[in-house]
Structure 1
Amino acid sequence: MASPLKQQQLINSLHTGFIDKDNISLEKYRPRLLLNNHKQGKKVLSSIINELENCDEFFFSVAFITYSGVLVLLNTLKELESKGVRGKIVASQYLNFTDPTALRKLLEFENIELRMVVHEDLHSKGYIFKKDDEYNLIVGSSNLTQNALSKNKEWNIKVSSTDKGSLIEETLKEFEQTFHNSVEVNEQWLEQYDLIYRKNKENSERVTKGELGLFIAQSPEAEYKVNHDLRPKISPNKMQVKALGGIEKVRERGENKALLISATGTGKTYVYTHTIYELHKRYGLNKFIIAVPSLAIKAGTAQFLRDEYVKRHFSDVCGYGTEIEVGVLEAPKNKKKGRSYFPSVVSDFVKGSCQNTKKIYVLLVNMQLLVVRSNGMLSRDDYDYGVEGFYRPLDAIRATNPVVIIDEPHRFSRDQKAFKVIVDEIKPQCIIRFGATFPETTSGRGKNKITVKDYQNLLYDLNACEAFNQNLIKGVTKEHFEPVSKREEKVKITSITTKDSVTFQYKKRDESTKTFTLKTGDSLSIINEAFEGITIHAIGKSTVEFSNGIQKSSGEELDVDIYMTSYQEQMIRLALERHFETEKANFCGRNFKIKTLALFFIDDISSYRPNEGR
């Protein structure tokens, strides 16, 4: 039972909500009207997510559930599953509007019990959240759809109660009764409902109730004009259509190698994903390896393949009716002594059954892991456990007879180790390379030396100029900056004596060069007053660190006019100036606002964030 203090806080909040708005009380217990108002930044969704993040248990009773409604809560539901927070959701089959895809997604959560009311019309829209001895109840007009939670004109009331309150007791009793009288949602039930749902979308005629209480009603889209998916339809562009046609021709000729050239940004990732689905549909292939050159590309590819909208596009819009299961191979982070376990991602890939026509298995790997050495993750054979009789991962992968897709092939030249592992160790039935640039091969010597691009079975070629002409990519403008003061003064580090001194040369146009030798603690203003406040903090074997945190090596120069600001820092400053100029033009005085983004590319994560966690 709630403590006397908590009871008094609740009483005061109810007094504020129902009797005197000027009464002082805790806001979290006050009755509230929850609305969607984009001008005020209000969403019913925000309140639902906040309650979920702080509850011990939750109960939803709604008439309709759409896939987009589940997606907006997906990350929150995953977090609750990891914390072991359980929930119950009951929905209605009224008008057959609830999306079976949404129900399938909810079935993936082990902490959620899912049921459907099929023998009567359920119109409730209620959300109950339990935390210790408290309950928060949201009741109103919002179904579990993206529009209802974020966009539509909806009215919902939120009230709080202790576990002894009569209102929450009656509400929970009604929920449990409805839940008990409903049908458990499982794959067998969903298969039947899915047929009726699809048929219902194709025609609007009514039919009588069938087995399990399933029925087809008039199209709810026409009655409620609900936008089922706010995102635009995905469809292949001109390049992607032609490239897919080329791949089909190569396969028909019985070739086992092919390549596609397409300018950066034209959609190669979509093409090879579409290729995977098409090869599965036509030839029953369901084992694919995607080899990429870097961790950044691997992360981006994994995100694309796992995106729920992408999955739905290929499964439903394109009509493939199957789904890619992505396994991302990662290097072991902590090498502990003791048992040595076979890589689980490889094991799942190898065990994936070719009899399952609804699954395509994709192994995503970066080139650094495709190596053969004694302690290599894929090449060692001393694991305590194997898979399907194999103890060496490369041997197990080869046995699946996969198709290998290579992204950025200019990084996978024929003499490169990763490419040799693909050809000699994995021995795939087919290699398809997708890229904007390709490696070169050289033959002959002297005057007979010939260097050509490494093309083999070129099925499509789209250069940057043609891509621009087809409006597949945008033009790029380039800008150079000039030194701030144009004083043309520089300071060069000529030599460093370990932990002792640093020798500088001061250069200025039309003046003789001056030499300065400074020690730890000395100010650079000795060389030029522009460096006022900057001192030598430490001297190493080949580097010197200044008091502003910048490190320089022997031979490097310092720009006097910008206080040692590096070339990169000047570029960032200019980029930020241009960003705000562009943002002002894109935002002010426009009916449709355009969001402006500034992107900064780095060579490697470690060069930007060298210490993990900092």
Structure 2
Amino acid sequence: YIKTMYELNMRYGWSKFIIVVPSIAIREGVYKSFQITQEHFTEDYGKKIRFFIYNSSQLTEIDRFASDNSLNVMIINAQAFNARGKDARRIYMKLDSFRSRRPIDVIAKTNPILIIDEPQSVEGKQTKENLKGFNPLFTLRYSATHKKDSLYNLIYRLDAMEAYNKKLVKKIAVKGIAQTGTTGTEGYLYLEGINLFKEKSPTANLGFEVKQAGGVKAVVRKIEIGHNLYDRSGSLEQYRDGFTVTNIDGRDNSVTFQNGTKLYA
């Protein structure tokens, strides 16, 4: 997202950015990233980013952030405007040392672009509400593990294969998984592996859904030839038709069901 800031500044002149991170440790890591990439980006774009960590006691930094025309980035952890302690609340207080202004108001007047680092860890209900106080021009959210119910307006995705093709990583290791269906509606199945024995028939570690007191849950259970998933799932409808194990084959690591479904480890 540092490159994104430079590009947005170069193309549209936007210069106020706030990076919101979930913890102090990540905040320090982000700050370090700005330090070690500064020369690299200065060579590419011919200008430096002025970056700082928000501190309620260093109000001159906020003044400079608001008034300076160059590229400015404030790094702030969510606790700094979410927590209930007096120090955290200072962002919402009229401060004598800040000419009776509230830091949040000074920041909000700049209409900063918000960048959320690891939104799945940051964006709780209260945080989402509090982020509106920054009056952002818009918000960008960066994560490798977005929650499925909060993935919207996807602009860019970098998956493992693309990272390899772009030479961002030297190699990728692939773990093959065979799965049919998705949880909840279809016959979800996942074959973890086959167990072979000298004296008895092989068994399979099979993932499927089970009806429990708290709802339906995906589990991995040891399954033998003749086992019926309809019975073992607590009579879930998706396993009613022919999901009885007819064969467990150690030669190709597969499980076959009565209805013809064949699954590989």
Q: TM-score band, normalised by the shorter chain?
A: 0.5 to 0.7
Assess if the C-alpha contact under 8 Å between 1:298 and 1:365 holds in 2. Answer: yes
* Aligned mates of 1:470, 1:312 — CA distance in 2: 22
Q: Deviations over 1:293-324 (max 9, x none)?
A: 122221121112123xx2232222x2x22110
User: Is 1:427 aligned to residue 152 of structure 2?
Assistant: no
Distance change (3 Å), C-alpha of 1:342 and 1:380: farther
Give the secondary structure class of the aligned counterpart of 2:156: strand
After TM superposition, give the deviation of residue 470 of structure 1 in Å.
5.5
User: Is 1:290 aligned to residue 19 of structure 2?
Assistant: yes
* Aligned mates of 1:417, 1:351 — CA distance in 2: 29
Q: Deviations over 1:45-93 (max 9, x none)?
A: xxxxxxxxxxxxxxxxxxxxxxxxxxxxxxxxxxxxxxxxxxxxxxxxx
- Find the counterpart in structure 1 of residue 67 from structure 2: 351
User: Is 1:279 aligned to residue 8 of structure 2?
Assistant: yes
- Find the counterpart in structure 1 of residue 197 from structure 2: none
Assess if the C-alpha contact under 8 Å between 1:373 and 1:380 holds in 2. Answer: no
Give the secondary structure class of the aligned counterpart of 1:429: coil
Give the secondary structure class of the aligned counterpart of 2:130: helix
After TM superposition, give the deviation of residue 419 of structure 1 in Å.
2.7
Distance change (3 Å), C-alpha of 1:392 and 1:373: farther
- Find the counterpart in structure 2 of residue 463 from structure 1: 159
Give the secondary structure class of the aligned counterpart of 1:458: coil
* Aligned mates of 2:166, 2:35 — CA distance in 1: 29
Q: Deviations over 1:247-277 (max 9, x none)?
A: xxxxxxxxxxxxxxxxxxxxxxxxx111111
Matches within 5 A, 1:107-122: none
Distance change (3 Å), C-alpha of 1:348 and 1:462: same
- Find the counterpart in structure 2 of residue 28 from structure 1: none
* Aligned mates of 1:380, 1:306 — CA distance in 2: 29
Poorly superposed stretches of 4+, deviation over 4 Å: 468-471, 474-477
Assess if the C-alpha contact under 8 Å between 1:372 and 1:379 holds in 2. Answer: no
Alignment-mate amino acid for residue 101 of structure 2: Y
Give the secondary structure class of the aligned counterpart of 1:311: helix
Give the secondary structure class of the aligned counterpart of 1:312: helix
Q: Deviations over 1:370-423 (max 9, x none)?
A: 227583344332411226xx611111110111111111121133x43223211x
Alignment-mate amino acid for residue 363 of structure 1: M
Give the secondary structure class of the aligned counterpart of 2:92: coil
* Aligned mates of 1:342, 1:391 — CA distance in 2: 14
- Find the counterpart in structure 2 of residue 301 from structure 1: 30
TM, length-normalised to structure 1: 0.26
After TM superposition, give the deviation of residue 430 of structure 1 in Å.
1.2
- Find the counterpart in structure 2 of residue 95 from structure 1: none
User: Is 1:364 aligned to residue 56 of structure 2?
Assistant: no
* Aligned mates of 1:384, 1:457 — CA distance in 2: 42
* Aligned mates of 1:430, 1:298 — CA distance in 2: 21
* Aligned mates of 2:53, 2:95 — CA distance in 1: 20
Q: Deviations over 1:342-382 (max 9, x none)?
A: 63332331232x2xxxx211100111112275833443324
User: Is 1:412 aligned to residue 141 of structure 2?
Assistant: no
Matches within 5 A, 1:77-88: none
- Find the counterpart in structure 1 of residue 53 from structure 2: 328
Give the secondary structure class of the aligned counterpart of 2:4: helix
Alignment-mate amino acid for residue 81 of structure 2: L
Q: Deviations over 1:120-171 (max 9, x none)?
A: xxxxxxxxxxxxxxxxxxxxxxxxxxxxxxxxxxxxxxxxxxxxxxxxxxxx
Assess if the C-alpha contact under 8 Å between 1:373 and 1:379 holds in 2. Answer: no
Alignment-mate amino acid for residue 369 of structure 1: A
Give percent identity, aligned residues only: 32
How many residue pairs get matched? 172
- Find the counterpart in structure 2 of residue 398 from structure 1: 108
Assess if the C-alpha contact under 8 Å between 2:160 and 2:172 holds in 1. Answer: no
Alignment-mate amino acid for residue 73 of structure 2: V
Residue segments in structure 2 that go unaligned for 5+ positions in a row: 175-265
Distance change (3 Å), C-alpha of 1:282 and 1:468: closer
- Find the counterpart in structure 1 of residue 41 from structure 2: 314
- Find the counterpart in structure 2 of residue 383 from structure 1: 95
- Find the counterpart in structure 1 of residue 146 from structure 2: 438
TM, length-normalised to structure 2: 0.57
Distance change (3 Å), C-alpha of 1:421 and 1:405: same
Residue segments in structure 1 that go unaligned for 5+ positions in a row: 1-271, 333-340, 441-452, 478-614
Q: Deviations over 1:498-523 (max 9, x none)?
A: xxxxxxxxxxxxxxxxxxxxxxxxxx
* Aligned mates of 1:283, 1:466 — CA distance in 2: 28
Q: Deviations over 1:459-496 (max 9, x none)?
A: 1122345545655345579xxxxxxxxxxxxxxxxxxx
Counterpart among 130, 150, 155 of residue 454 in structure 1: 150
What do you get for the CA RMSD once the two structures are aligned? 2.6
After TM superposition, give the deviation of residue 281 of structure 1 in Å.
1.1
Distance change (3 Å), C-alpha of 1:313 and 1:469: closer
Give the secondary structure class of the aligned counterpart of 2:49: strand
* Aligned mates of 1:425, 1:282 — CA distance in 2: 26
After TM superposition, give the deviation of residue 456 of structure 1 in Å.
2.0
